[in-house]
Amino acid sequence: MTPGDNTAWGELRRREAWLWLAFWGTIPVGITAGMLLGERLLWVVMAWLALVAYRATLLFKVRCPRCGKLFFRREYYETYDYSNVFAGACLNCGLRKWSDSIA
Ligand SMILES: [Zn+2]
């Protein structure tokens, strides 16, 4: 991944990297905040977890480079949809993640 990655998968790579950085950063941030802030640790951890949730939301909004629909979400009916952020392929058209060919 490079900052200037403008390939079809660049946005997905960036959003996944930020989500996992935020997710795995929870423990060191919590430990550091606990040592420095004592009982105010709770507020820092809650804010950090809100950041993780925000990054996860951004990842769910990535669109498939082939079909243009949400990559990790499929609507079956107006009232039911399926989401899987660990999906290895587009839930709408089946395009494999990181595929060289998007045609
Ligand atoms: Zn697709």
Read off the pLDDT band of 100 (50, 70, 90): confident
pTM: 0.75
Q: How many CB atoms lie within 10 A of CB 71?
A: 28
Q: How many CB atoms lie within 10 A of CB 100?
A: 8
- Tokens 């490079």 correspond to 2
Cβ-proximal residues to 100 (8 Å cutoff; 6+ apart), any chain: none
Distance, CA 62 to ligand 1 centroid (Å)?
A: 10
d(CA 103, CA 101): 6
Average of per-residue pLDDT values in the chain: 88
Q: Please, which residues have CB less than 5 A from ligand 1, an ion? A: 64, 66-67, 90, 92-93, 95
Distance, CA 24 to ligand 1 centroid (Å)?
A: 28
The dihedrals phi and psi of 79, each to the nearest 5 degrees, come to -110, 0
For position 8, what pLDDT does the model report? 76
Is the CB of residue 56 less than 8 Å from the CB of residue 67? Answer: no
